[in-house]
Structure 1
Amino acid sequence: MVGHIASALAVLGLCLSLTHAAHILAVFSYSFPAPFLLVAPYMKALVQNGHQLTIVSSYNHLEDIEGVRHIRIKLMDQLLNDLLDFDFEGTYPLSKWGKSSIISTFFRNSSYYILSDPKVQGLLRDPNEHFDMIIVQASHTDALYGFAQHFKAPLVGLSAYGTAWNIDYLAGNKAPSVYEPMQPEGYSNGISMFDRFTNWVYITEEWLIDSMVFLPKQVHLYKHFFNRPAESLYEIRHNFSLMLINHHFSLGRARSNVPNVIEIAGMHMNGFIEDLEPELQRFMDEAVDGVIYFSMGLEIVNKWLPPHMLKILEEAFEQLPWHIIWKSELENPIHKSDKIYMKQMLPQRKLLSHPNLKLFITHGGILSIIEAAFSGVPMICVPMYYDQFGNAERMRQAGVAQVLDIGTMTVESTLQAIKEVIENPTYAQKAKQMATRLRDQPMTPLETAVWWTEYVIRHKGAPHMRLSDQDISFMQYYSLDIISMLFGRIGLSIILLSCFSVKLFKLLKKPFQMRLYHIP
């Protein structure tokens, strides 16, 4: 056993020695805090391996990393505040096109604030600046891909919110799965031929939205700040060397990834785990019957939740025998009770790992899903937007969660879901099985991300990892060639049969008419 470990360390050391200390530019236009839980350990690990990093990010959400040149964009934080202060009253109901218009403006502004920043402009204008790799937020920030072309460096994408068809497209898989959209509204989880066809039509509409709403704004910025034609941006979009996606096949969906798509779900799990404060530790330890933990994540505060939802939870929790831990910034949203512990910030990973925790009620954000799955905790998901619906549905299909609709949930349905998940041992058993599968990996997700990043550096962009356009066509991927041939044969058979039937009918009709003609 010791010999195997020594050999593995030797191989890893050899790989690291073959990777020179690279100059890496990382540009993250995330305006929310959650993605930086993923970004921070990844950046720190690259620095620890001897690489020199320049990080462009928002001002508040990423801590200082020793040895890193930080360029912080204050306007990015203002952009988030503007979105949070946006008055959505009177704008409902919003179509997919209407929502996309708002979101695309948000991403356009984030790209603009980065590219127009004086320090970023200094990077672009300094002839002595050199980078061996560019790492960017993968989706909807296409103008920022211009850094890779400007510095003639390989482009790496980080998809913190999992993946969708547009991520597959950027990674070189031009025929992505038809059942993973960007926006879940109106989407079917069925597997029938009709469901697959309607979903294909649905994602075709998303492709049109991406091409006609999101991309033009990014192209305009790219042409302005990099002084290059739009065609060169389309070329960059087809040349991601590596795509790191915050997903893992053990979380309920195996994907047909191309070689340059690497699953790194749990990359943030290597970080420091904050201990429970003494009062909360006692609360957990003394709850021998079990604890329910309710949190809607870092980005959704309770004051934004529908009032009926808070009232429903208040009434439901009062009727339950279990202790409740409620993440809330509100002072007194519910009646005082010795069995309810409330606080604005809580050490979630530590809570999820406590043996007395029976259930996690969550919004279904990907980081919360991963942390609950890692600890083997069953869930109730109450999704609100974006990827949360898909995450929740995968957990439901895996048998580790129930899903509540925030618009139709009642006290009765909430109580029923809670009791079903806690009292039915199947949920806990399947959650433990999922945890075992997620933990069973040859390297930690963080080590995997760093290894493949350095692989791309060692192999000068690793173009051999990308799927060639000629390897498999859109028609072949979706078996449209087979379908067209099948329906072509069926259609031809129907035509021939119809012609034969008409001819036969005419032949049979003619003698009958002759007999009628000879009747006296």
Structure 2
Amino acid sequence: MKTAQVFVALFTLVLYTRSTQSENILGIFSYTFGTPYKVVKPYFEALVHNGHNVTIISSKELLPDIENVRHIRVAGLDRIIEHVMNFDYSDCLYSKWKESLVASSFHYNMSHAILSDSGVQSLLQDKSEHFDMIVVEPTYSDALIGFAEHFSASLVGLSTFGSSWLTDHLAGNSAPSIYRPIQPMGYSQGDSLLDKWNNWIYISEEWLIDRLLILPGQLELFTRYFQLPTSRLLERRTSYSLMMINQHFSLGRVRSNVPNVIEVAGMHMAEPSEPLEPELLDFVNGAEHGVIYFSMGMEILNRWLPKNMEQKMMQTFAQLKQRVVWKHEEHTMVNKSDNVFLSPMASQRQLLDHPNMKLFITHGGLLSTTEAAHSGVPMLALPIYFDQFDNVERMLKMGVARKLDINTLTVELLTNNIKELLQNPIYALKAKELSTRFRDQPTTALERAIWWTEYVLRHKGAPHMRMTDHDMAFVPYYKLNILSILFGRIAFSGLVVLFACIFAINFFLKEFQKIAEAPSVFYTSI
């Protein structure tokens, strides 16, 4: 009996050891801003907690040290970041091709900074190094896929900006019905035939941008640093084992995902939020008529905003009975009214969760809209670039937000929209309903991300999760091959009939011409 118990205990121990076997995971991120690292950090902390060996290649400044993680810091990324922060975006914010040219240069420089770094090169040249999985941001960083090829590792994408046609294409989800643009400016939200045609042209244009502007530079870096033919990158970039996207169907985008696409919106909220500073907390607690929070995100500096915008915002806030917390890089401002509190970096989640919070004035960034949805706070959106327009449109459709153009702002427009959002109870009601739906999930986003990551590790890349190109190719998926046969036969039959008719008409015309030209049998001379 004791022998049997010992055997069972040993068998259980073996199973437990195998189920928690540590793997070597390499994360490579070339972000130019700090916001995406808010998603990255808790994910890798959880992997380390589960016993995996994690190495992360990143900038020196933006990602804090994670305990028990080997960090390879790339100083070149920080120099690019400094250039980005001082770059004048005014000429390219409203031109997709200009913005894409700038993006192409940035992404090339970031991939080059990583691949040329001495620490990274040491990693690549060390024959003892081994990795089971490579985790990258999938959009516009294709040269970094070479790490998966170099180490013969499975490839995982962590898309902190949500999804687009490109992430779906890379994941093997090639059904055009779910395609979304990379840069939403100019993309139609309508459902008419003209809107669909416009969007098809728009996506085709982005495909050209990817092929003509972005990919050539990434291919050049791939062949230079990994000494492999371009065909290997073109094959590998569409072989992602897992694609984690920072969104959720309850936030207004229902998708037909393939099995290897996992929604993880809210994963960044697994990190504990910083408490409010005492002075700010007292200011918020004492708000008899509620609080409005105004923030344009972590990266958008007030000096980048249109001239006189600050003055218009301050004039508007001065008329309100609500208190306003303004995320601003300065601690003071000329003509600041008493109901305004300036804070360079207030704890946004703590503010949004506060019972006195009534309205969030935001740029519409993905993390900000997700946090507002989680807290059930209505929004007044002032989108500026990239995915913000798309995020805001989803909030508008769900009835939890209103939108204004920062270039046409007036005090009257701001005041009227703020009052509408505060006084019309439908916005607060819809926001609470959205919060309830978003919170009602069987597991947290982080738990979901970790489970599927380890599933891919357990099943050696899990190729069975991915649809092949043949399964999802455009022609067979939409039965165009059958339609071509059907309509081909009809067209062939039609052509036969048409040619027969033409032949018959020509024959009879010639016969009539012969009769007309021949002497008549009834002709008699006098």
Q: Normalized against structure 2, the TM-score is what?
A: 0.87
Asked whether the 8 Å contact 2:376–2:433 carries over to 1, the reply is: yes
Asked whether the 8 Å contact 2:331–2:344 carries over to 1, the reply is: no
Is 1:83 matched up with 2:84?
yes
Asked whether the 8 Å contact 1:19–1:458 carries over to 2, the reply is: no
Q: After the TM superposition, which residues 50-61 of structure 1 pair with which residues of structure 2 at under 5 Å, given as runs?
A: 50-61=51-62
State the 1:486 CA deviation.
10
Task: Give the Cα–Cα distance (whole angstroms) in 2 for the partners of residues 494 and 405 of structure 1.
Answer: 55
- The size of the alignment, in residue pairs, is 488
Task: Give the Cα–Cα distance (whole angstroms) in 2 for the partners of residues 247 and 88 of structure 1.
Answer: 27
In structure 1, the residue matched to 2:197 is: 197
Evaluate the alpha carbon distance shift between residue 285 and residue 95 of structure 1 in structure 2; reply closer, same or farther with a 3 A threshold. Answer: closer
State the 1:254 CA deviation.
0.6
State the 1:440 CA deviation.
0.9
Query: For 1:407, what is the secondary structure of its paired residue?
Result: helix
Is 1:63 matched up with 2:58?
no
In structure 2, the residue matched to 1:135 is: 135
Asked whether the 8 Å contact 1:399–1:427 carries over to 2, the reply is: yes
Task: Give the Cα–Cα distance (whole angstroms) in 1 for the partners of residues 345 and 202 of structure 2.
Answer: 39
In structure 2, the residue matched to 1:371 is: 371
Task: Give the Cα–Cα distance (whole angstroms) in 2 for the partners of residues 19 and 111 of structure 1.
Answer: 33
In structure 2, the residue matched to 1:396 is: 396
Deviations 1:174-232 (A, max 9, x none): 23446511112221100112211110111001001100100000000000000000000
- Unaligned stretches of 5+ in structure 2? 1-11, 503-526
Asked whether the 8 Å contact 1:248–1:265 carries over to 2, the reply is: yes
Evaluate the alpha carbon distance shift between residue 334 and residue 491 of structure 1 in structure 2; reply closer, same or farther with a 3 A threshold. Answer: farther
Amino acid at match of 2:335: H
State the 1:351 CA deviation.
0.3
Shifted more, 330-339 versus 405-414: the winner is 330-339
Query: For 1:70, what is the secondary structure of its paired residue?
Result: strand
Task: Give the Cα–Cα distance (whole angstroms) in 2 for the partners of residues 311 and 291 of structure 1.
Answer: 20
Q: Normalized against structure 1, the TM-score is what?
A: 0.88
Query: For 1:32, what is the secondary structure of its paired residue?
Result: coil
Asked whether the 8 Å contact 2:168–2:179 carries over to 1, the reply is: no
Amino acid at match of 1:409: L
Q: After the TM superposition, which residues 404-419 of structure 1 pair with which residues of structure 2 at under 5 Å, given as runs?
A: 404-419=404-419
State the 1:408 CA deviation.
1.8
Task: Give the Cα–Cα distance (whole angstroms) in 2 for the partners of residues 118 and 289 of structure 1.
Answer: 57
In structure 1, the residue matched to 2:224 is: 224
In structure 2, the residue matched to 1:336 is: 336
Q: After the TM superposition, which residues 2-13 of structure 1 pair with which residues of structure 2 at under 5 Å, given as runs?
A: none
Is 1:168 matched up with 2:168?
yes
Asked whether the 8 Å contact 1:293–1:325 carries over to 2, the reply is: yes
Evaluate the alpha carbon distance shift between residue 139 and residue 16 of structure 1 in structure 2; reply closer, same or farther with a 3 A threshold. Answer: farther
Query: For 2:426, what is the secondary structure of its paired residue?
Result: helix
State the 1:14 CA deviation.
7.4
Task: Give the Cα–Cα distance (whole angstroms) in 2 for the partners of residues 351 and 363 of structure 1.
Answer: 16
Amino acid at match of 1:328: H
Asked whether the 8 Å contact 2:93–2:385 carries over to 1, the reply is: no
Deviations 1:26-68 (A, max 9, x none): 1011121001111110010000000001110000011111111
Evaluate the alpha carbon distance shift between residue 132 and residue 179 of structure 1 in structure 2; reply closer, same or farther with a 3 A threshold. Answer: closer
Q: Which one has a bigger Cα radius of gyration?
A: 2
In structure 1, the residue matched to 2:510 is: none
Q: CA RMSD in A?
A: 2.7
In structure 1, the residue matched to 2:290 is: 290
Evaluate the alpha carbon distance shift between residue 340 and residue 478 of structure 1 in structure 2; reply closer, same or farther with a 3 A threshold. Answer: farther
Is 1:24 matched up with 2:25?
yes
Deviations 1:136-155 (A, max 9, x none): 11110000000001000000
Amino acid at match of 1:354: H
Evaluate the alpha carbon distance shift between residue 483 and residue 318 of structure 1 in structure 2; reply closer, same or farther with a 3 A threshold. Answer: farther
In structure 2, the residue matched to 1:45 is: 46
In structure 2, the residue matched to 1:122 is: 122
Evaluate the alpha carbon distance shift between residue 213 and residue 287 of structure 1 in structure 2; reply closer, same or farther with a 3 A threshold. Answer: same
Shifted more, 165-174 versus 332-341: the winner is 332-341
Task: Give the Cα–Cα distance (whole angstroms) in 1 for the partners of residues 326 and 83 of structure 2.
Answer: 28
Asked whether the 8 Å contact 2:114–2:120 carries over to 1, the reply is: yes
In structure 1, the residue matched to 2:150 is: 150
Evaluate the alpha carbon distance shift between residue 331 and residue 204 of structure 1 in structure 2; reply closer, same or farther with a 3 A threshold. Answer: same
Evaluate the alpha carbon distance shift between residue 93 and residue 473 of structure 1 in structure 2; reply closer, same or farther with a 3 A threshold. Answer: closer
Is 1:258 matched up with 2:269?
no
Evaluate the alpha carbon distance shift between residue 42 and residue 397 of structure 1 in structure 2; reply closer, same or farther with a 3 A threshold. Answer: same
Query: For 2:342, what is the secondary structure of its paired residue?
Result: strand
Task: Give the Cα–Cα distance (whole angstroms) in 1 for the partners of residues 296 and 319 of structure 2.
Answer: 21
In structure 2, the residue matched to 1:423 is: 423
State the 1:330 CA deviation.
2.7
Evaluate the alpha carbon distance shift between residue 417 and residue 493 of structure 1 in structure 2; reply closer, same or farther with a 3 A threshold. Answer: farther
